[in-house]
Structure 1
Amino acid sequence: MRTALALLLAAAAAFANAPCDIIDPSLCVFPFPNDYFRPVGPSGVALTNYSNITWPLDADGKIFDVSNGWNGVNGFSPAQAAITYLPNASLSGTPNLPRLWNMETSLLATSVTALINAETGERVAHWVEADHSSDEWDAADPSKNKRAFMAWPAARLNGSTRYVFAVGPVAALGGGFVQPSPAFRAMRAGASFPGIEPERQAHFEKDIFPLAEAAGLSRGSLTIAWDFTTASDATWTHNMLSMRDQALALVGDNAAYSITSKTPTPRPGVAMEVDGFITVPWFLSSISPDIGTHIVIGSDGKPELQGYNDVPFKLIIPTSVANGSKPATAQYYGHGLFGSASELTNQYLDTEADENGWVMIGVNWIGLCSEDIISDAYMVANDLSLFGFIQARLHQAQTNALLAHRMLFTSLAADPILAVNGQPVLSKASPRRYYGNSLGGIMGSVFMSLSTDTTHGVLGVPGGPFGILLPRSKDFAALFDIIRLRYDNSLARISMMSAIQEQFTYLEPGGYVNHLWKDPLPNTPQHSVLIHYGQGDAQVNWVAAEWLGRSIGGMRAFDGTMRVRNCTLFGFEFVDNSAKLNGTDGGLMQGYYFDVPAENIPLENLPCASATDTHGKTRRTAHAMEQTRVFFEQDVIYNPCGGACHEQPSLCVWERVGRV
């Protein structure tokens, strides 16, 4: 099969465009995403086709090897920023440029930028930002810090859809306007230019310039414009759905397990802490976190079973369930970045579990758990083109988690450790829920898009996509420093974030959450989630939490409880603080404010200040705990704060510090 794929890609090279798109000469892969890198092949199908010099070479001259899963895709990630470079652009000096705090203006004909659904001609909400992720690194030599011009869609884009991104007049530092590249200026004028084929000029004449003009941007005013097509939804979900369905068919309600340790009353509120192994179907080429690990694909095009593997799990049985004072809920818990299922032993979880009768189980999010740290760091330091092994392991992680949750109320429920007076405390009739924080909130959004065993989940401090998250997270700082050493200019570095996003989408919110509530995946129920996030979070930024909420759809918010930065409150349905909502009618965003100084919460794509990091606070508030309990037990969403949560400000942060 690998030989056949190699032949296919070799044949594809024959119809590839030139390695670079010269309408943005700043970087070979810019502008991105871009249908220039998705030519139509001999079969009549358009697939991504990069050369090995399209993406930047690293400091040692090593190529970004596009044969490692980057070519042959039917489109681009729907969770990607449109990115280009406009030399000396002044965003603050450009009127009518949609920014994070007024992204709804991107829908107006007066907006300087237009993200256009080419099928409908409609504008799509987005915000524009400059890339500041290299500011500190390049402070000694500002000439090296070229800030990319980035447009983030306010929510996940539609699959299998062509979009046009067009930029009108943008002010330049020092006066005047940013000038188009020579190639684009010629195309705009309808003149020939070396390297611009007649077919491409004709495509712009027919499919790009008219759409930009219809959206309100005259052809002569354009600084740059291009188009890109998103991949089909099935591109991202195919392997995961197959692994889920195969695993559940193979294991069903009869997951084999072994218990390796039982610790009675390890902490207050916990009757028993149990460690063991669950036997799961394995679809990867390796059990260990080896670089190069991949999902093995069979002749039918689906993931192929490679055998079985024993995966460790942790189980917490609260005192209230063990003594019979509380009915039990079968709850899966998702841990944080580079952590493990041992996070189930946190004191705040002990308290919640005991108060609410949560019997909690968890396994490791392999791919981004403690056992992956060395492999992940080595890959970043040596060859980012091998990033695919992370998403492959994350596929198996979701499979393991879904099976562990099923086991909790089926085969494991029959074990004496889960019996009171000889009677099982859990069964298939028991309530089943999901709760996760940080990475557990991020991957929890995927879990809640896939689960056939629960319909209700709480995502604590989550976000998506990783392209928004990573530059805004202090947790990524060390890995980003490695990337900075490997790529010697800011444009190359941020392009690597775009590359990573293309792979992450196979197993992250951007590939799945449009199916969580409004368009369930095949043989999957509709799900409803609460999203809890905190202003000032230095690890999972609130901007990413709001993007996640918009992308899920059907998300509501109480008046006064999410007045954080995005003063337009775009994309959510706001309801009265006194309302009691039915959880099955949609989810809820709940923001928390912890009096973090405004200067510690940058508007740019930078982390919030570590000194005032609120990442671990939201989940520990009594309000968040109570809202979770009522949602899980009664399917009711209410505002436990009665109004604003934790002294939330009435003004936008930038208004309080005089920033516009």
Structure 2
Amino acid sequence: MRLALAVLLAGAAGGVLTPPAAASGPGPGGAAAARACDPIAPTECLLPFPNDWFTRADPRSETGRRVAFTTDTLPRPASGIPVSPTAWNRSDGFSPGSAVIAHVPGLDPAATGAAPITDIGRSLDRDAPIVLLDADTGERHPYWAEPDAGAGDDGRRALLIRPARNFHPGHRYVVALRGLRGEDGRTLPAPEAFTTAAGRPLPRGHALYERQRALRPVLRDLRRAGVPARGLHLAWDFTVASERNLTGDLFSIRDQAFRGLGHAAPDFEVTELTDLTPQEDPRIAREVRGTVSVPSFLDRPGGPPGSRFHRDRDGTPRRLPGNTQTAAFRCEIPRSAFTGRTPSRPALYGHGLLGSRNEVGAGNVKAMADEHNFTFCATDWIGMAADDVPVVLGALTDMNGFPAIPERSQQSMLNALFLGRAMIHRDGLPADPAFRAPGGRPLLDTRHGLVYDGNSQGGILGGALLAASTDIERGVLGVTGMNYGLLLNRSSDFAPFQQVLDAGYPDKLRQQVVLQLYQMVWDRGETNGYASRLADDHDVLMHIAYGDHQVAMVAADVQARTLGARLHAPALAPGRSPDRVPHWGIRTAGTPFRGGSAMVVWDSGTPTPPLTNTPPRAPEYGQDPHSDPRNMSTARQQKAAFLTTGRVMDVCGGAPCTAIPTP
């Protein structure tokens, strides 16, 4: 895999893997009446970002807005190929987890007093130099501010303002920057265009007349919130995409597919059955492989890598006649299901980054299965599986190819939903001889609902799967977080892909905008776009590895705040966290735990990760603890209790949870 990845990386960096540009044209919610670059921030076209300057009125959308990018406003890759705005212009707002980006040459965030990652509470101070205001509620929104540590040129360094809790879908937000200072402590002058637009009324026909009109409600909302126009360095507003817009594609293909299925079990075929002796595997007695047939909503027969949704004129995903996804699956039936009195609990498993269903055969999954009598079945997260690596790499050099990733990922979620239904339907897998013991005794317990367990990417995508499922009762999201736009810069996994992104978009300021543009369409294929629905409909247990090199803990904290998850306390030993208030804004769980979602931090003694948007690397940051929680029997005991009862057991004796580093 490493050699193949190296070859693919070399090809992508040379432009070999760049997918063809998407078809041009406005499509649904196209770029009619779109504006050019925002004149109040002349250094980079899409800045400040996100920004309602790049939307238009749309009375048909739930927000009343529609994103209206053009090929001229979207950043072109180094190849110079124009980027079609079609996929972005389906949005009625921006990502609920978007970083707010501004370019302020000479800015020193520390001298300014901007709230750092270690003191999020400071962002809500009345005199905070950066204000995020929910214009719909009048409340301030928490954040932390950081300069892009990956930018080598101070003159092209982005100011990144990260929401500490996702923005509320469908709401409008106002951003204000004031009292910004440089290293010498002096106040930085505001951009002249902004000062003019925020000043006296301009005559019709003035170059900034329209910008001034758009700025008036921004200044009015700030004034009502106690932030006067005088002293502002920059201010603007943006609208967050509605929940319906974020979840609409996945929920639509789910509803269409299950409506066609009715009360029947999905069609499936068992292609391979292997009975294992205790000497061959002391935990798993039978391994079953097969396929399940799923309606495909992708635009190519069988939905290969690079496929996108086939859409009707209104932009709704529709199935091409007869198009079917043959989703391969692998199931591990524990020895306890054969030897115990009760059949095993059916559970879906979600694999890690660009992996495959075969991760269900990992040692920790087998241990979980046999120790707690679960049968785990898995199918590939197509779109983010091993076969998709060339498409992923190509999308990093050219944004045109990116929508294929989340759209194929949504098809993979439908595949998993069909596999899950087959696991619990009396005419599905439980009826097949492969899932019966000698003598015909069932090995799958259909009296109880389906549950989910996923790790790493399986956690990041798994929350979206749970939000879409009517069969899954609850789930465990292991070493998880959400929002790839926040995660990538902070992940050691992304390091080899960074060179490809650098080749496609070498300017670091523009690159930060590109990452947030990716997130706008990625929301449809990972938990970030479904967090509000997940919080309402499902309970999850989040297991976090302190100092994780691959999935940054800060992304888990944002997710926990957004879900309203409770924190196992004490979470860490005293002095372990550099934060002024560790896990700020996350309420602690009571004893006993009374239901809902929860987060447990497992500490292997790994050094605290960087406080910048950079990844931790060995040896400075020690051994990666990413795999440690799932390899602890106590953590598996806690997961099993949650999956079966919804309770979070204190398996750590009233102390912080510690893990043994995986050899």
Q: TM over 0.5, yes or no?
A: yes
AA aligned opposite 1:441: G
Correspondent of 2:489 among 444, 450, 471? 471
**C-alpha distance in 2 between matches for 1:127 and 1:86:** 16
Structure 1 residue aligned with 2:585: 571
- Worse overlay, 234-243 or 559-568: 559-568
- Worse overlay, 305-314 or 272-281: 305-314
For 1:101, what is the secondary structure of its paired residue? coil
AA aligned opposite 2:616: C
Q: Does residue 1:513 correspond to 2:523, yes or no? A: no
Structure 1 residue aligned with 2:539: 528
Deviation of residue 218 (structure 1)?
2.7
Correspondent of 2:189 among 157, 179, 187? 179
Correspondent of 1:161 among 171, 178, 203? 171
For 1:75, what is the secondary structure of its paired residue? coil
For 2:530, what is the secondary structure of its paired residue? helix
**C-alpha distance in 1 between matches for 2:146 and 2:97:** 16
For 1:312, what is the secondary structure of its paired residue? strand
Structure 2 residue aligned with 1:23: 40
Structure 1 residue aligned with 2:415: 400
Deviation of residue 16 (structure 1)?
2.0
Deviation of residue 15 (structure 1)?
1.8
Structure 2 residue aligned with 1:345: 361
Correspondent of 2:325 among 290, 309, 333? 309
CA RMSD of aligned residues (A): 2.5
Structure 2 residue aligned with 1:49: 68
1:359-406, Cα deviation, whole Å (9 max, x unpaired): 11010000000110112212323x212211111101100000011111
Residues 197 and 208 in structure 2, CA contact (< 8 A), matched pair in contact too: no
Structure 2 residue aligned with 1:651: none
**C-alpha distance in 1 between matches for 2:523 and 2:99:** 13
Structure 2 residue aligned with 1:523: none
AA aligned opposite 1:365: W
Q: 1:214 to 1:10 in 2, by over 3 A?
A: closer
Deviation of residue 30 (structure 1)?
0.4
**C-alpha distance in 2 between matches for 1:591 and 1:538:** 14
Q: Does residue 1:124 correspond to 2:135, yes or no? A: no
Q: 1:85 to 1:565 in 2, by over 3 A?
A: same
AA aligned opposite 1:117: D
Residues 328 and 426 in structure 1, CA contact (< 8 A), matched pair in contact too: yes
Q: Does residue 1:581 correspond to 2:589, yes or no? A: no
1:261-285, Cα deviation, whole Å (9 max, x unpaired): 1222152211011111111111111
Residues 601 and 657 in structure 2, CA contact (< 8 A), matched pair in contact too: no
Residues 305 and 388 in structure 2, CA contact (< 8 A), matched pair in contact too: no
Residues 183 and 196 in structure 1, CA contact (< 8 A), matched pair in contact too: no
Residues 29 and 67 in structure 2, CA contact (< 8 A), matched pair in contact too: no
Q: Does residue 1:485 correspond to 2:503, yes or no? A: yes
* Correspondence list, 1:292-441, <5 A: 293-298=307-312, 302-306=316-320, 307-381=323-397, 383-410=398-425, 411-420=428-437, 421-441=439-459
Q: Does residue 1:104 correspond to 2:115, yes or no? A: no
**C-alpha distance in 2 between matches for 1:591 and 1:167:** 35
Structure 1 residue aligned with 2:82: 63
1:601-650, Cα deviation, whole Å (9 max, x unpaired): 101111122442111112112331121122123332122112343569xx
Structure 2 residue aligned with 1:226: 236
Deviation of residue 162 (structure 1)?
1.1
Which segments of 5 or more consecutive residues in structure 1 lack a partner in the other structure? 519-525, 649-660
Residues 473 and 540 in structure 1, CA contact (< 8 A), matched pair in contact too: yes
AA aligned opposite 2:611: L
**C-alpha distance in 1 between matches for 2:94 and 2:314:** 24
- Worse overlay, 396-405 or 148-157: 148-157
Q: 1:287 to 1:474 in 2, by over 3 A?
A: farther
Residues 303 and 325 in structure 2, CA contact (< 8 A), matched pair in contact too: no
AA aligned opposite 1:401: A
**C-alpha distance in 1 between matches for 2:34 and 2:538:** 42
1:311-344, Cα deviation, whole Å (9 max, x unpaired): 1100101111022355410010000010001001
If the length of structure 2 is used for normalisation, what is the TM-score? 0.88
**C-alpha distance in 1 between matches for 2:325 and 2:34:** 42
Deviation of residue 231 (structure 1)?
1.7
Deviation of residue 178 (structure 1)?
2.4
Q: 1:431 to 1:254 in 2, by over 3 A?
A: closer
Deviation of residue 440 (structure 1)?
0.5
If the length of structure 1 is used for normalisation, what is the TM-score? 0.89
Residues 162 and 230 in structure 1, CA contact (< 8 A), matched pair in contact too: yes
Q: 1:42 to 1:112 in 2, by over 3 A?
A: closer
1:287-322, Cα deviation, whole Å (9 max, x unpaired): 566575221223675422232232110010111102
For 1:570, what is the secondary structure of its paired residue? coil
Correspondent of 1:594 among 604, 608, 620? 604
Q: 1:310 to 1:112 in 2, by over 3 A?
A: same
AA aligned opposite 2:272: S
**C-alpha distance in 1 between matches for 2:509 and 2:390:** 27
Residues 556 and 586 in structure 1, CA contact (< 8 A), matched pair in contact too: no
Structure 2 residue aligned with 1:456: 474
Residues 565 and 599 in structure 2, CA contact (< 8 A), matched pair in contact too: no
Residues 391 and 401 in structure 2, CA contact (< 8 A), matched pair in contact too: no
Q: Does residue 1:282 correspond to 2:296, yes or no? A: yes
1:189-229, Cα deviation, whole Å (9 max, x unpaired): 33659974424313323x11132233343312111110011
**C-alpha distance in 2 between matches for 1:499 and 1:590:** 31
For 2:471, what is the secondary structure of its paired residue? coil
For 1:219, what is the secondary structure of its paired residue? coil
**C-alpha distance in 2 between matches for 1:42 and 1:313:** 44
Structure 1 residue aligned with 2:285: 271
For 1:362, what is the secondary structure of its paired residue? strand
Which segments of 5 or more consecutive residues in structure 2 lack a partner in the other structure? 1-22
**C-alpha distance in 1 between matches for 2:348 and 2:174:** 41
Identity in percent: 30
Structure 2 residue aligned with 1:642: 653
Correspondent of 2:258 among 204, 226, 248? 248
Deviation of residue 188 (structure 1)?
2.9
Deviation of residue 94 (structure 1)?
1.9
Correspondent of 1:496 among 504, 514, 525? 514
Structure 1 residue aligned with 2:102: 84
